[in-house]
Amino acid sequence: MPYIYPIIKADYLQRTRSYSFLITLAVTIFMAYSFIPAQNASYTTLSAAGYKGVYNSAWVGYVSGIMTTIMLSYFGFMLINSGIKKDIETEVGLIIATTPISNFKYLLSKQLSNYLVLLTIAGITFSVSIGVFFIRGTGYPFVLSNFILPYLFFAVPALFVVASLAVVGEVFLGKRSILQFIAYFALCGICMSLINSKSGAQTTGAFDPFGLSLITSSITDHINSHYGEDIKKVSFGFLFNGQRAYKPFTWEGLDWSAVFIGSRLMWMGLGLVLVYSSSLFFHRFDFRQAVSTKKKKKEMVSIAEVKPMAKSIGLSRAGLPALNFDYGIFPLVKTEFLLLIRQGNKWLWLLNAGLWLAMCFVPLSIAYSYLLPILLFFQVTRWSELATKEQSNRVHYFAYAAYKPLQRMLPAQILAGVILALGLCLPVIIRCAIAADTYAVVNIMNGAILIVLLAVALGMLTGGKKLFEVFFFLLTYCVVNKLPVTDYLGSLPHQNMTLFMLLILGVNVALAIVSLMARSYQTRHL
């Protein structure tokens, strides 16, 4: 144990002292405040066929707890899945590899540091939920247990499993972040589908890592028994229904069973088992590749062979090629574009190509509303490093000292990202152009530029890529679920389409200005 605590402390402090974490906390406070909407708000977060609970302590505490659990279980994985990768990039792992700490203890320390980061965010939402109750829950007594128990039995066990899966993903998938995201979100999708299916596990919630089935079944049973309804489904998430009137009902919370509480310990035990199992396959920062003896013999060159070779090389000035200087921006655009398309595994382009071809043949509404935002999200790791790779690879001292870095390098990076984005959007753009939908064409181009500029601006402001990855995931999730305020591609109908286009264009201009100011500051403060 003497090695575990220092690793946990150092990793936790490194994460929480970053600018991106501060911005994440600000976003968390806003989200936590939004979990319990005002009475006259145009949206709700949990509704059962037109019924909505009154804002007593049980409703506010439980809804806030389950919303925090679901949201952190999804985007929290993207926030913490780089602990081992950071040790590799900073070469701290080489030092750790020489210490007596075992693989399991090292991975356990990373898992616990991940867990503490998520618990910190959950603690913020817990505090905000209490404040929201005193703001919006007037007329009802404050019961502290209705806030503590949901977080204790919903968020605490679920986030422990998320922290464990983040470690497992790094061990088996390494630096392939997009593969980690796909695998994790697929696993979450399977869990949600099993939760929504009709099974006996819904009554106890034992096999539900989130606890969502327990609270939804309790709400439906309460409404059906007290109001003579036959409700079988509860809508969950940010539901925009205008000024729709809901029927209020009073819900007093859950009766916790020993089976459910024991299942929370079972899920946490499963997280430990996953960490221990992954430790058996952990590389321990040894990346040497096995090379056959025959290959080594072929590649070995003796010093005696090198010396004559060096003498035979003519280093006369006349033999060197003439120097050609090109101060234009197009060579940089080409280089940045090649860096984008060559990043990651090549077989991932098969998935991109499959979605790209599918957008050519599926109905335009499906291609526009679902396939296009998903395809753009699959490039999240490419765009997140668009303007931060110089610092992460420690070459910014040379890059920022080059000839006119503000007028050449930054525009080249943005242009390369925009070219890639527009190329991915090309099938939908062509189909909308054929349909003479000019608004859609302009909106898609505006949206593609928005994502690239957002990646550049957030990357330079925070000095990392995590905030953009988390934000882009939330944005894509809301777009796929047809949340009007997040429709950056313009796939949903708007009352004033011209105003909508000008709004996105204004955001793009603002992001471009922020990016130029941030890069100007970076070049002057190396």
Which of 104-118, 206-220, 436-450 is predicted with the least confidence, judged by mean pLDDT? 206-220
Task: Please give the pLDDT value at position 244.
Answer: 63
Task: Please give the pLDDT value at position 288.
Answer: 59
Q: What is the largest CA-CA distance in the chain?
A: 96
Task: Please give the pLDDT value at position 201.
Answer: 42
Classified as helix, coil or strand, 236 is strand
Which of 128-142, 191-205, 330-344, 494-508 is predicted with the least confidence, judged by mean pLDDT? 191-205
* β-bridge partners, 52: 248
CA-to-CA distance for 150 and 64, rounded, in angstroms?
A: 8
162 and 73 Cβ atoms separated by less than 8 Å: yes
Rg (CA), the chain: 27
CA-to-CA distance for 162 and 71, rounded, in angstroms?
A: 12
Classified as helix, coil or strand, 484 is helix
Instruction: Write out pLDDT tens, residues 79-130.
Output: 888 888 888 878 888 888 888 889 999 999 999 999 999 999 999 999 999 9
The residue ranges of every structural domain in the chain are 4-279, 330-524
- Say if residue 233's pLDDT is above 80: no
164 and 271 Cβ atoms separated by less than 8 Å: yes
Task: Please give the pLDDT value at position 310.
Answer: 47
CA-to-CA distance for 443 and 498, rounded, in angstroms?
A: 10
CA-to-CA distance for 103 and 280, rounded, in angstroms?
A: 8
CA-to-CA distance for 446 and 500, rounded, in angstroms?
A: 10
| Chain-centroid distance, C-alpha 380 | 9
CA-to-CA distance for 147 and 57, rounded, in angstroms?
A: 7
CA-to-CA distance for 455 and 188, rounded, in angstroms?
A: 26
Residue 388: count other Cβ atoms within 10 Å of its Cβ: 20
Task: Please give the pLDDT value at position 247.
Answer: 82
- Say if residue 181's pLDDT is above 50: yes
Percentage helix, strand, coil for the chain under 3-state DSSP, each rounded to 5: 70, 5, 25
- What distance, in Å, lies between the first and last C-alpha atoms of the chain? 40
Task: Please give the pLDDT value at position 196.
Answer: 66
Between 110 and 346, residue with greater pLDDT: 110
Task: Please give the pLDDT value at position 291.
Answer: 37
For strand 43-47 and strand 51-53, is the pairing parallel, antiparallel, or unpaired? Answer: unpaired
- Residue 335 Cα distances to 291, 347, 382, 394, 462, angstroms: 32, 21, 14, 18, 25
**Predicted confidence band at 25 (pLDDT cuts at 50, 70, 90)?**
confident
- Computed over every residue of the chain, the mean pLDDT equals 83
Between 13 and 315, residue with greater pLDDT: 13
The residues, ordered by sequence, that sit 6+ positions from 97 with a Cβ below 8 Å of its Cβ are 284, 285, 286
Which of 231-245, 374-388, 419-433 is predicted with the least confidence, judged by mean pLDDT? 231-245
And the tokens for 384?
Answer: 């997140």
Most confident of 14-18, 479-483, 505-509: 505-509
Task: Please give the pLDDT value at position 451.
Answer: 94
- Say if residue 409's pLDDT is above 80: yes
pTM comes to 0.76
Phi, psi at residue 53, to the nearest 5°?
Answer: -70, 150
- Residue 244 Cα distances to 43, 63, 117, 191, 427, angstroms: 9, 20, 38, 31, 38
- Side chain identity, residue 519: R
**Predicted confidence band at 328 (pLDDT cuts at 50, 70, 90)?**
confident
- Say if residue 37's pLDDT is above 90: no
And the tokens for 285?
Answer: 């920062």
Does an H or E element contain 239, and which? strand 235-240
- Say if residue 302's pLDDT is above 80: no
Instruction: Write out pLDDT tens, residues 240-295.
Output: 665 567 788 888 888 888 888 999 999 999 999 999 999 998 888 876 543 334 44
Phi, psi at residue 249, to the nearest 5°?
Answer: -145, 155
CA-to-CA distance for 501 and 108, rounded, in angstroms?
A: 49
Task: Please give the pLDDT value at position 217.
Answer: 85
